[in-house]
Amino acid sequence: MKIIEEVCKGDITYSFPYPKENILFFDIETTGFAAETSALYLIGVAYYKEHTWKILQWFADDYSSEKQILVSFFAFLQKFQLLVSFNGNTFDMPFLKKKCEQHQLTDAMYSFEHVESLDLYKEIFKHRKRLKLENMKQKTLERFININRKDIYSGKELIKIYQKYVGEHVRNENADTKEMEELLLLHNRDDVAGMLQFSNLKFLSDLLNGKSNFKSITCLKQGDIIVLDVTLDFYASAHYQWRGANVFLDISDNSLRLVVSCLEARLKLFFDNYKEYYYLPKEDRAVHKSIGMFVDKEYRQRAKKENCYSWEEGLFIPVYSKYTDVVFREKLDGDEQFIKIDTEFLENKEKQEQYVNDFLENCLELCLEKN
């Protein structure tokens, strides 16, 4: 087994629930997907110590080093609280668990029970339809968030290189295998180092989940347009946009701008408990029975679901979930719903933040584009 350690340039760019010293990024390299029939030949980690990120790799320069790699990795893992990976919950961690069983490493330390896992692939996969990417592989996502790597090989392509490396290295320890070894280490090193910048995926996930933290927000009404300008607590690594029929979203650096076209109309606010209302045909609105009882019977009738409403005129903007009870529609079974632009909305920062997050989380028909 060879142990390689070096300084890693870069830093995490989005907040995690633990101090950097308690976070371990990791990735493994194997000769296949099934632990029963494949070899583990490399584990790489990135960790923060003495104000510097470092990369540590345990590399099997022969097929007999597998157990040694496992022992070294799990011993190192004990000091960390958060384990960050890309597809680690589905592949890396189950693979290592099976390898531990094969080598009869059954002590409590040879498990992931003491550490919390954050799988960046799982975080972003739920938004795959909105990202308009050809696939969700790490290299594809790296390009999308402006991460450039030196490595050009896939893990599958490196299997043959590793097999050739071991064959030549075992037959002759003095064989010139340095170039092959560097290719194998580089792929894993770029995977691990890339995960530091992969915190941008956490940013995108939180953004699309409507869980972003805003440093500030301003709201400006320009004719029939509402402009919401947000200062984020994070700098995006690329320029992102969402476009829809009546909405436009732009994210650049730490700024988010949401532009919404207003609808000037008379819209209806429907009441749920229609049996407690009277409908007044001449006024085209429903009133509660406690009030309607004072209206002459010839001017009132029992309300039905479809006419149990009040109405208002003015400017409205669309909403994508019922985060407020005051939601207007054109008709009862209408798919679109709106809130009214009034003084309260224009002056209430909390309502504005709520609106932006509602848009980000629930406007599923919009697709993310990168400039």
Q: Which tens digits make up the pLDDT trace of 293-309?
A: 999 999 999 999 999 99
Q: Which of 84, 118, 96 is nearest to 30 (CA)?
A: 96
In a domain, 254, yes or no: yes
- Is residue 28 within 8 Å of residue 92, measured between CB atoms? yes
**What is the model's pLDDT at position 367?**
58
pLDDT band with cut points at 50, 70 and 90 for residue 352: very high
Given the DSSP bridges, would you call strands 23-30 and 82-85 parallel, antiparallel or unpaired? parallel
Do residues 15 and 155 both lie within one domain? yes
When pLDDT is averaged across residues 141-162 and rounded to a whole number, the result is 79
pLDDT band with cut points at 50, 70 and 90 for residue 242: confident
- State which residues form the domain around 114: 2-205
DSSP per-residue letters across 103-166: TT--STTSSSTTSEEEEHHHHHHTTHHHHT-S---HHHHHHHTT---S----HHHHHHHHHHHH
Do residues 364 and 230 both lie within one domain? yes
| Maximum distance among all Cα pairs of the chain, rounded to whole angstroms | 105
In a domain, 303, yes or no: no
In a domain, 287, yes or no: no
Share of the chain above pLDDT 70, in %: 95
pLDDT at 173 over 70: no
Do residues 177 and 219 both lie within one domain? no
Q: Which amino acid is at 81?
A: Q
When pLDDT is averaged across residues 160-180 and rounded to a whole number, the result is 78
Instruction: Choose the weakest-confidence range: 125-134, 247-256, 267-276.
Output: 125-134
List C-alpha distances in Å: 25 to 12, 87, 188, 199, 220.
Answer: 11, 12, 12, 11, 42
Do residues 134 and 229 both lie within one domain? no
In a domain, 284, yes or no: no
pLDDT band with cut points at 50, 70 and 90 for residue 25: very high
Domain boundary among 158, 181, 205: 205
Q: Give the C-alpha separation, 167 to 174, whole Å.
A: 12
In a domain, 167, yes or no: yes
**What is the model's pLDDT at position 368?**
62
Do residues 171 and 239 both lie within one domain? no
When pLDDT is averaged across residues 51-56 and rounded to a whole number, the result is 95
How many domains does the chain divide into?
Answer: 2
In a domain, 282, yes or no: no
Domain boundary among 205, 223, 247: 205
Q: Per DSSP, what are the bridge partners of residue 116?
A: 82
Do residues 323 and 367 both lie within one domain? yes
Do residues 45 and 153 both lie within one domain? yes
Domain boundary among 147, 176, 205: 205
R_g over Cα of the chain: 29
Do residues 266 and 340 both lie within one domain? yes
Do residues 371 and 225 both lie within one domain? yes
Which CATH number fits the domain that encloses residue 80?
3.30.420.10
Do residues 25 and 64 both lie within one domain? yes
Do residues 156 and 60 both lie within one domain? yes
When pLDDT is averaged across residues 76-83 and rounded to a whole number, the result is 96
Q: Is the dihedral of CA 14, 15, 18, 21 positive or negative?
A: positive
In a domain, 285, yes or no: no
Do residues 61 and 141 both lie within one domain? yes
**What is the model's pLDDT at position 147?**
75
